[in-house]
Structure 1
Amino acid sequence: MSENERLIHASVEDVFAVLTDGWSYASWVVGASRIRDVEANWPQPGFSIHHSVGSWPLLIDDTTTVEAYEPLRLLRLRVRAWPTGEGIVEFEATDTYGECHLVMRERTAKGPAALIPDQVIDPVLHLRNAETLQRLALLAEGRKP
């Protein structure tokens, strides 16, 4: 399992405003190229974002579904990008003196990607997720008055 953490100079509320805006995912999730639809009850468990990953003309259309949601604390997602597979991504937030300490965990769950040993895939996920958290931080910090 890959784990990244970052102190974001914004409130937990501002970070969760970005995390729970399904339409924003293509602007901060590395690899997401577009959002095709966000189900009305997102981010409630069982509801999905319909997204595409990759670059044209090699786009994969799939979904990201909420597995668990605790407002202002936790968001756990099942991310699909078949035929490569599925992963579980979790964001856990803690208020730290008015700023947000955010931990992002990711692991492969199903499919061909799950056959890659952790010691091979985790460094790649770690680098990608560091950039993802950087982009998320910029959006959340930009929300400050």
Structure 2
Amino acid sequence: MSTVTQLFNAPAADVWKVIQEGWLYSGWVVGASRIRSVDDHWPAEGSRLHHSVGSWPFLIDDSSRVTAVESGRRLELLARGWPLGEAKVLITLEDLGDSQCRVSIAEDAVRGPGKLVPRKLRDPLIAVRNRETLRRLELMALGGAGRRS
């Protein structure tokens, strides 16, 4: 799996608030262009968010499903984007105190054409995308996204 880790200048609780608000997903996940619907019980295990990937007019409508969750600390997804395939994604948060946390994203293709790309080529491409994903996630947490009044 390609793994990217970043130190955030935001507490883990604020980062989790962004993650648990499924409607914000397309704001921080590189490649997700819009959210079409979010299950009411997101991000509980088995819940889905229905997203589109790509750029208009070349959009793929699919969904991601939570396969495991530890509230505030860990989210595991099966992200789908057929006909490109499916990926397992694991997001972990480690609270470091002093308004900091360490966030990691581990990801790899598990099914479909993406799995046919050799790992030596696949991992660096995933890492570049997920570095930007983490940058966006930190900015959204710092800006107060996901905090309901």
TM over 0.5: yes
CA drift at 1:8 = 0.8
CA–CA distance in 1 between the matches of 2:114 and 2:94? 30
Conserved 8 A contact 1:83-1:111: yes
CA–CA distance in 2 between the matches of 1:27 and 1:4? 19
CA–CA distance in 2 between the matches of 1:94 and 1:31? 25
CA RMSD of aligned residues (A): 1.1
Conserved 8 A contact 1:93-1:103: yes
Q: What corresponds to 2:78 in structure 1?
A: 78
Q: What corresponds to 1:113 in structure 2?
A: 114
CA–CA distance in 2 between the matches of 1:6 and 1:141? 14
Conserved 8 A contact 2:11-2:97: no
CA–CA distance in 1 between the matches of 2:114 and 2:127? 15
CA–CA distance in 2 between the matches of 1:116 and 1:44? 31
CA drift at 1:143 = 2.1
Extract unaligned runs of 5+ from structure 1. Answer: none
Extract unaligned runs of 5+ from structure 2. Answer: none
Q: What corresponds to 1:38 in structure 2?
A: 38
The one-character-per-residue Cα deviations of 1:24-80 (angstroms, maximum 9, x if unpaired) are 011111001000000111100111000000011110000010011101110001000
In the TM superposition, structure 1's runs of 4+ consecutive aligned residues that sit over 6 Å from their partners are none
Equivalent AA in structure 2 for residue 101 of structure 1: R
Q: State the identity %.
A: 46
Residues 1-145 of structure 1 aligned to structure 2 (within 5 Å): 1-98=1-98, 99-143=100-144
Provide the TM-score with structure 1 as the length reference: 0.97
SS of residue paired to 2:23: helix
CA–CA distance in 1 between the matches of 2:39 and 2:59? 21
Conserved 8 A contact 1:38-1:49: yes
CA drift at 1:142 = 1.6
SS of residue paired to 1:40: coil
Conserved 8 A contact 1:8-1:141: no
CA drift at 1:97 = 2.2
CA–CA distance in 2 between the matches of 1:50 and 1:39? 8
